[in-house]
Structure 1
């Protein structure tokens, strides 16, 4: 039995589809089974979330493999970024050890360190350490760069913002990424699950190094709404988003913690080597989004 967390997320949905198509016994830890769509009758459902340790201890019964994709990039009513990413993963690892799990696959992020400027990446670094230093026989960390897909939440938000004549960009927009398609990431996860002796760490990156500004231009072009971009100084963005979050709480359309992540580079010196080691050739943004060469920014 395989336990999948984050089964309704961008990568988790793609992984779930592959597992159910291959008839792999899957148990999904979810708060709302309706978000599983038709797959809710094809998987076992464990009700709960990362803020409720007893729920995932029960979900681990009879499980030999865990794929832990669930994450939070903003504070939630049920827990902070640190609690839901760092502490919850540490507790899940402890429960997995007690349950006799033999392989624990944890999704981190490129560049996660204990001294990072962002709360999210610091929490991910703490979680990485908990996984690697555990007594689980096969702990594996997968660290992707920014993950995207046509029609994802970020692309949908940009499309809505493009109703205006210009689209704002937080800061200088110079942070660099190697964007990787969610479907390529899911293929890498499935290949890892089939591997007899996986490595302890895989860095998943696309074939191009592009900055934040260029990513936004490409996503707007793919949505059919190219717009001029206006760079907004970071202090102004920080104050505006913090004020919005104070008023709207969890309903805020964006938070400073999310915006700050887009000012931290996530690149791998290994490029696409780890993905190719798993038999996956990541596609470029142009290939995935169907962009013509003359639509790409120069």
Structure 2
């Protein structure tokens, strides 16, 4: 499995990002400029506009506090029925998917990567993706572990199972949280800013955003903050520190799990334990009292492959 970095051990600061957002250029209700303004108000530092099969004019929308990146939600044919949903991050204005890219996922991913994009599989739980529909794909860099619109519309917002299955098969995809907002008034904007990706970077640049996604310098969240997560080889322990939570899980391969539960009416903010020897890697999942969660990427246990 490709080894992600541990962002909690890297220098830099954390930036809040969203890599899946629609506007009235496709099927969203707000203009590009208004969508950017709403994310700025909500404390985001990175926003990718991903309208369906269309890029946007984003000139002049970035400033020192918010980096706006051009993107597109691409829809190559899914053989069993319908289409894949893949968010290409950092596509040039005027980008167009070729005929071959619309017919199959691999040409789609390859074309976008050649254009400078990193690619994220969107809401696989909602799409009922089986592992063999994406495990073989090259130039796929991330997976939406949490998508707030999918949860709002069909209670299928968590794709942790699909993400974990890929890891069990030896494929690591960076954890991404996205709201997939369409600004639909019928939802009361409850999907907006209800999912995000935290990126550890030395500065706010497109190059650093792409590097964070490709190396795993992220964690995904729908609420909790993860403050530290690291493995200590000297005593074979793993530790996570977080905002107030009710459950903290360490998860390994094949559904292995160790948990700490807060006493009734109380909260917990850390968990340390010794790892069982068979675990080659470990990741943390934090759950707060509203059942909102946050997910780290896995870190390696010792020098196991």
TM-score after normalising by structure 1:
0.31
Structure with a larger share of its residues in helix? 1
TM-score after normalising by structure 2:
0.31
